[in-house]
Every structure is written in structure tokens, then in C-alpha cells.
A and B are shown apart, each in its own frame.
Chain A
Amino acid sequence: MKTSTKYIFGLLVVVAIFVLAIIVNPNAGFGGTDDLIRSIIQSINPNYRSWFASIFEPSPEMETLLFSLVAAAGAFVIGYFLGYMRARSKKQKEKD
């Protein structure tokens, strides 16, 4: 098998896992296990009170925006790297 075929196959499996996760449970909240943990803590120790509140809490829309901004920034760097590598190997080939 060609390397690129293997890569595409592997990436498809990754996508499939993510899509399956959504299909298996379409009504999943995006609150996260972190929030689930909070309620477990309350059931183990009902008297525990959070003693420090977040300094700044974004609205749900803002939160989505900020999350995607971070992901976009990261994806930009990864894309830059892949492009750099591609151009580099092309130049190398021209030299040879």
C-alpha cells in the first residue's frame, strides 16, 4: 500500500470514531465530564462549597467562539508546518 493511502485510511478511522461518538449519542450535552464530576463531588460530600469562582466566565456563544479561535490558531500553525515541509522537499528534489 502506498504511504499516502495508509495516511488517508488512518485519518478516515479517526473521523469515523468522532462521527460514531456523535451518532451513538446524538443528544449528548457538551457540558463535559468536568461538569459531571462536579455533581459526583456534591453527592460524595454534600457540604462542600466551591471556595473560588472563575474570574471571568464567557457566555455559551462566546465560549464556542473562543474555543474555535484556539483551535483555528493551532490548525494554522500545523498547516504552516505542513506547507513548509512540502515546499522544502520540492526544493530538495529540484536541487538533486
Chain B
Amino acid sequence: MHIAEGFLPLVWCVFWYLLAIPFVIWGARNVNRIYKDRPEQKLTLAVSGAFIFVLSSLKLPSVTGSSSHPTGTGLSAILYGPATTSLLSTIVLVFQALLLAHGGLTTLGADIFSMGVAGPAVGFFTFKLLRSMRVRTGIQVFAAVVLSDLVTYAVTALQLALAYPSAEGVQGSFVIFFGVFLVTQIPLAIAEGILFTIFFDYLSRSRPKLLAQQFGETK
């Protein structure tokens, strides 16, 4: 989902930067507060970030003949919300843009918005909604993680389509771009979903109090 360096017109670079920056600042405040008020959460926060590091650097081949990668943002989105996730994603994306020529500084704002804000936001609210409906925890987590992944790619496709409308307009090129992503992304999203469902289940068995505190469900 990284948009290549220099491949977004300047107007859109600025636009996505402006949308993404407030979330990153909000996220930095959240992290600060976790460090001050809830130091017992530090380790889980670090692990959420670590998953983004690992999963977003796993490039896997797929049927289309090109490769793609999971986003890894699902766990962090569920536990800490989109703002904090946008900060963690920013760290990963800056590293990839500067050292790996994967994504770029001009497209950083757009990438932070799709991977750090939009995907995790949808995942976060899906989780909240399903949790309030009291469906099984596994389903809450799986749906949230899969949507975090897929929505990220949908937003990237939208960002590209807005900058490059085809002859049939924005809609036409959105279908083209999202089509390219979707075939590679569905299996990855499912794999990511299973992985995080297992990890979340483990977490809720080993640290039930920590999770209850996080979700404000302490009795």
C-alpha cells in the first residue's frame, strides 16, 4: 500500500499530510499518557508496535505475480485505537521511506492516513460494535483485523484514483487500483486475522485484568 515516492501530485501530498498529522499528534499524546498513568501497559503497547514492524515487512508473492504485505495494525487498533496506531505506523513508515525506498517522504502523509488512521479506525469501531453486540471474542478480533487490512488498501486505491482519474473518472480508476490490491490482499488479511485472533485470545487468558482495564470493563 505504499505509494511510490513522487507519485502523488503535490496538492494531494499536502492534503493527506494535513489529514494525517493531527492523528499522529493525538497518538503521541496518548502514548505519553500511557507511559505516565498506566506503565503496566507499556509492554503490550511495544508488542502492538512490534507486530506492525514484523508484518508490514513481510512481502509475500500472490496470484497476480506481484507481492504484497500485511499491515499488522489490527492489534494496536483494537487495544489503543486509531490515533495511537497512527503514531506507531508513522515510525515504521518513516523507516521504510528513508532506508528502504519503500513509499516516500512526499507520499508519507497519504500512507500514514491509509495504514495508520483509516484502516485502524474502521477496525477499532468494528471491534467496539461487535463487542457491544456480545458476539464471540474471536469473531470481534478477526473481523476488526481483516477490515483494518482491507480498508487500508481500499483507501490507498482511493488516494490513487483521486490523483489519477481514468477516462471513466475517479470511480473507474478506483476499481482498477483496488482490483490489483484485492486479489493479493484477501488471503493476507485472513492470515493476519487468524494470527491476531490467536494472540488476542492468549492475551485475554494471561492478562485478563489488563484488557479489562484497557476496555474500561472492570467491575
The listed residue with most B CB atoms (<10 A of its CB), out of A58, A67, A84, is: A67
Contacting residues of chain A (1-52) with chain B, CB-CB under 8 angstroms: 3, 6-7, 10-11, 13-14, 17-18, 20-22, 24-25, 27-38, 40-41, 44-45, 48, 50-52
What A residues does B54 contact at CB under 8 A?
A: 70-71, 74-75, 78
Tell me if B99 and A58 are in contact (CB < 8 A).
yes
Tell me if A31 and B205 are in contact (CB < 8 A).
no
Tell me if A74 and B62 are in contact (CB < 8 A).
no
CA distance A14 to B51 in the complex (A): 15
Show 15 residue pairs from A and B whose CB-CB distance is below 8 angstroms, ordered by the A residue.
A13-B191, A21-B63, A22-B60, A28-B67, A30-B59, A32-B69, A34-B3, A34-B103, A37-B177, A52-B106, A58-B99, A63-B100, A74-B50, A77-B53, A78-B51
- Set B5, B49, B99: member contacting A66, Cβ < 8 A: B99
- Stretch with Cβ within 8 A of A (4 or more), from B25-33, B76-84, B119-127, B194-202: B194-202
What B residues does A67 contact at CB under 8 A?
A: 57, 59, 100
10 closest pairs, A vs B, by CB? A28-B61, A74-B53, A50-B6, A74-B54, A77-B50, A52-B6, A57-B101, A54-B101, A74-B50, A17-B191
- Set A13, A21, A63, A85: member contacting B61, Cβ < 8 A: A21
Contact bitstring B39-78, A, C-beta under 8 A = 1, else 0: 0000110110111111001111111111111000000000
Minimum CB–CB distance from B56 to chain A (whole Å) comes to 8
Q: Is residue B164 contacting chain A, with contact meaning CB distance below 8 A?
A: yes
Tell me if B4 and A35 are in contact (CB < 8 A).
yes
Q: Is residue B206 contacting chain A, with contact meaning CB distance below 8 A?
A: yes
What A residues does B166 contact at CB under 8 A?
A: 44
Tell me if A70 and B57 are in contact (CB < 8 A).
yes
* CB-nearest residue of chain B to A84: B43
What A residues does B52 contact at CB under 8 A?
A: 74
Minimum CB–CB distance from A71 to chain B (whole Å) comes to 5
- With contacts A30-B67, A89-B206 known, is A71 near B6, CB below 8 A? no
* CB-nearest residue of chain A to B192: A14
Tell me if A56 and B99 are in contact (CB < 8 A).
yes
Tell me if A53 and B53 are in contact (CB < 8 A).
no
What B residues does A6 contact at CB under 8 A?
A: 198
CA distance A17 to B187 in the complex (A): 7
Minimum CB–CB distance from A83 to chain B (whole Å) comes to 11
CA distance A18 to B61 in the complex (A): 8
CA distance A13 to B197 in the complex (A): 13
